[in-house]
Amino acid sequence: MHFMQSLQQAWADHDSLVCVGLDPEPAKFPAHFKGRADAVFEFCRDIVDATADLVCTYKPQIAHFAALRAEDALERLIAHIHEKHPGVPVILDAKRGDIGSTAQHYVSEAFDRFKADAVTLNPYMGRDSAQPFLDRADKGVILLCRTSNPGGADFQALDCGGEPLYVRVAETIARNWNTHGNCALVTGATWPEELGKVRSVVGDVPLLVPGIGAQGGDVEAVLKHGRTANGTGLMISSSRAILYAGNGEDFAQAARKAAIELRDAINACR
C-alpha cells in the first residue's frame, strides 16, 4: 500500500497522531538487557509490540543503529513491524541528500535494503537530489523544513525575498515537487507559529513534528497551528519520553502508558 494511504488508515484505525521514534541507546536500556547479544533488536521489538495499536507510524533513527554496527538489527526490526503490525508504516529517519546518481544509492538503502515506507531527506541540494525518491510514488518523502533544534534558525529563518527560507522550501516542495502526492515536511513542535505558517502554504501535506516532550514543544499549540480540517495531518514524534519511560522489567508497559498519555493529550486538542 502507498505510504500516504497507510498513514491515513493508521490515523483513522488507531485514532492516533503519535509517531514513536525508535532511537536505541543501550546505556539507557533496562538492566536485564545487559549482555544480551541482540539487545538493540529485542528492546525496540518489545517497545513496538507494546505500542503498535497506539501509533500512526514508527520512525527508527538510523544513526543510532549505524554507530553500533547494528544495521542488521534495523533490517530485522522493520521486517518485524511489517509482519506483525502491517497497519503501521515505517519512516526511516536518515535525513539524506546527495546528487542524483548518488541519491539512487540512498534510495536503495532506504527502500530496497531497509524496506522503509518513507524516508526523511534534507532539501538543501535541491530537486534533482530528491527526484529519485519522489519517483517512488508509493513511498513517503519527508523533507526538512523548519527543524526543532536551536540552530534551526541559523539558515532556515533567513529572509529570502520577504519570506523566511523555510517558507520558500515549503512552498517549493508543496507546489513543484509533490507531483505524486507523496511529500511531507518536518516542522518542529518548538516553533508552533512557524508550523502554522507552513500549514498555511502547504494545504493538507502531512507534517512530521519532532520536539514534543524532551525538547519542550507544546501539544496544544502544535494542534492549534498544525492540524488539518479533519483533525489529522500530523505525525507527532516522541522518542526518549516513550522509549525510556521506565527502566525496569516492565519498561514496555511503561512505554505503552506514556504513548497512551501522549495520544490522549493530542486527541483532547483535535
Cα(172)–Cα(201) distance, integer angstroms? 10
Among 125, 221, 265, 269, binds a second copy (CB under 8 A): 125
The neighbour count for residue 149, using CB atoms within 10 Å, is: 12
Strand, coil or helix: 235: strand
Q: Is 28 in the site for a second copy (CB under 8 A)?
A: no
* DSSP letter string, 103-156: HHHHHIIIIIIS--SEEEE-GGG-HHHHHHHHT-TTSEEEEEEE-SSTTHHHHH
Which stretch in 50-58, 64-72, 199-207, 250-258 sits in contact with a second copy by CB under 8 A?
A: 64-72
Radius of gyration of the chain (CA): 18
Cα–Cα dist 210/226, whole Å: 13
Q: Which of 76, 168, 180, 224 binds a second copy (CB under 8 A)?
A: 168
The stretch near a second copy (CB under 8 A) out of 39-47, 140-148, 196-204, 256-264 is: 140-148
Is 95 known to be catalytic?
A: yes
Choose, from 95, 115, 224, 257, the residue flagged as catalytic.
95
Regarding 79 and contact with a second copy (CB under 8 A), the answer is no
Smallest separation (angstroms) from a second copy to the CB of 222: 17
Distance CA 260, CA 262 (A): 5
Interactions with a second copy, residue window 206-265 (CB under 8 A):
210
Interacting residue with a second copy among 129, 182, 232, 237 (CB under 8 A): 129
Exactly one of 124, 179, 247, 268 binds a second copy (CB under 8 A); that residue is: 124
Which of 90/170 has CB closer to a second copy? 170
Q: Match 523566511 to its residue by C-alpha cell.
A: 164
With helix as H, strand as E and coil as C, how does 31-81 read? HHHCCCCCHHHHHHHHHHHHHHHHCCEEEEEHHHHHCCCCHHHHHHHHHHH
Dihedral sign, Cα of residue 54, residue 187, residue 184, residue 79: negative
What is the smallest separation between the CB atom of 230 and a second copy, expressed in angstroms? 30
**Least distance to a second copy, CB of residue 71, Å:** 6
Binds a second copy by CB under 8 A, chosen from 1, 12, 31, 67: 67
Rounded Cα gap, residues 115 and 85, in angstroms? 14
How is residue 115 written as a grid cell?
A: 524496506
Q: Does residue 200 touch a second copy according to CB under 8 A? A: no
Q: How far is the CB of 150 from a second copy (least distance, A)?
A: 5
Query: For a second copy, which stretch binds (CB under 8 A), given 31-39, 81-89, 160-168, 254-262?
Result: 160-168
Asked whether position 23 contacts a second copy by CB under 8 A, the answer is: yes
Task: Examine residue 113 and tell whether it contacts a second copy (CB under 8 A).
Answer: yes
CA–CA separation, 225 and 27 (whole Å): 36
Instruction: Tell me which residues are annotated as active site.
Output: 95
Q: Write out the residues near a second copy by the rule CB under 8 A.
A: 23, 61, 63-64, 66-67, 69, 71, 95-100, 102-103, 105-106, 108-109, 112-113, 122-131, 144, 147-156, 158-161, 165, 168-169, 172, 210
